Amino acid sequence: MQAVEDRTGAGSAARRNSLKASASAFSPPSPFQRGFDVAFRGLSLALAGSVIALLLGIVYQVMAHAAPAIRDLGTHFLVETKWNPNKQVFGVLPEIVGTLYTSCLALLGGGLLGVTTALVTSQGFLSRRWELVLKNVIELLAAIPSVVYGLWGIFVLIPILRPVAKVLHEQFAFIPLFETPFAGPAILPAALVLAVMILPTITAISREALAAVPKRLPAAAYGLGATRWEVIFRVVIPTASGGLFGALVLGLGRALGETMALAMLVGNANVYGWSLLSPGSTIAALLANHFPEAGPVEIRALMYAALVLLMMTLIVNLLGAAIMARATRGLKGLV
């Protein structure tokens, strides 16, 4: 009774193993094997469930530790701007604003660059080989640890920005974006580094969205005498728009969760405003800076802040996943 012929090398080792596994190829599994089977399946089921438990556990732990602070501080926590452990005053408004502001700015820059890079590497501008090279180079950006980006930001980006910021502040201070002097660590360098960090995510997902457009649609547009960019703007991007939007939302989710580079670059000042040149703060940076030295009361407040961050990222990521799901469903009519 010869098993199904299998031509790949990997199969023969597996087949030998499975022959070992059933004591004899002709008899049903022994009681030990049945027991093992049940135990193993139970174990893997338990661990699969533990993934859900892990997620719920994280949410629960944060909520549980934040509960006393929620009780004491209430929603005032969300609009208070001072953070003073000694006086038991805690508020995260600057952090919430800072998180949203830096993330949205990063999305602007990273989104534009990311989608453009995805277009350049997928619409026939380069040979297949170069497309692959660039794809790998962009993924290199994703491999670099956040803390190294922070180091680079401090010693390369901020010094480069200084003269530029000086000019912007001196000449254009009437524009709210430039109304404060440049201190070094500030919103602008933080947002720029963040943009670079979310770029690989946006590029990768955008490439997938663009690849999902069936080739016969651009072909029809070329047949009508469109230039390459007319095909891209009038056919490819509109057709891929759902997936591209999803890429942006997921990029935003990544930006919201980013910690180290921001902690090192945003200035950790309890202020908020429109100025790009002013320092600011984000929730993740707040946690990074205060947690190690915090006393029990402050920790509860920090847990409250962590809960706010958790909710923000959960909502944005869920939104992104829903948009991507809808986008792939929408393309079903074409595929």
**Between residues 174 and 293, which has the closer beta carbon with respect to another protein?**
293
Write down the least CB distance from residue 176 to another protein, Å: 26
State how far the Cα of 113 lies from the Cα of 118, in Å rounded to an integer.
Answer: 9
| 72 CB burial (10 A radius; 0-12, 13-18, 19+) | middle
Residues 162-191, interacting with another protein (CB under 8 A): none
Is residue 159 within the footprint of another protein (CB under 8 A)?
Answer: no
Stretch that binds another protein, among 85-93, 161-169, 204-212, 248-256 (CB under 8 A): 248-256
State how far the Cα of 134 lies from the Cα of 42, in Å rounded to an integer.
Answer: 45
**Between residues 73 and 235, which has the closer beta carbon with respect to another protein?**
235
**Between residues 59 and 173, which has the closer beta carbon with respect to another protein?**
59
State how far the Cα of 140 lies from the Cα of 228, in Å rounded to an integer.
Answer: 29
**Between residues 32 and 174, which has the closer beta carbon with respect to another protein?**
32
Is residue 326 within the footprint of another protein (CB under 8 A)?
Answer: no
**Between residues 222 and 274, which has the closer beta carbon with respect to another protein?**
222
Is residue 219 within the footprint of another protein (CB under 8 A)?
Answer: yes
Rounded to 5 degrees, φ, ψ at 24 are -135, 145
State how far the Cα of 274 lies from the Cα of 135, in Å rounded to an integer.
Answer: 35
Residue 126 neighbours by CB distance under 10 Å: 14
Is residue 140 within the footprint of another protein (CB under 8 A)?
Answer: yes
Distances (CA, A) of 62 to 17, 49, 76, 230, 317: 46, 20, 19, 50, 18
Stretch that binds another protein, among 85-93, 161-169, 171-179, 212-220 (CB under 8 A): 212-220
**Between residues 70 and 321, which has the closer beta carbon with respect to another protein?**
321
Is residue 309 within the footprint of another protein (CB under 8 A)?
Answer: yes
Is residue 323 within the footprint of another protein (CB under 8 A)?
Answer: no
Cβ(186)–Cβ(267) below 8 Å:
yes
Interface pattern 88-117 for another protein (x via CB under 8 A):
------------------------xxx-xx
Is residue 311 within the footprint of another protein (CB under 8 A)?
Answer: no
Stretch that binds another protein, among 54-62, 76-84, 89-97, 169-177 (CB under 8 A): 54-62
Write down the least CB distance from residue 191 to another protein, Å: 13
Selected from 29, 159, 163, 176, the binder of another protein by CB under 8 A is: 29
**Alpha helices by DSSP H, the chain:** 9-21, 31-73, 93-120, 128-143, 146-152, 158-172, 187-211, 216-223, 228-231, 237-257, 260-265, 283-290, 296-330
Encoded tokens for 312: 């923000």
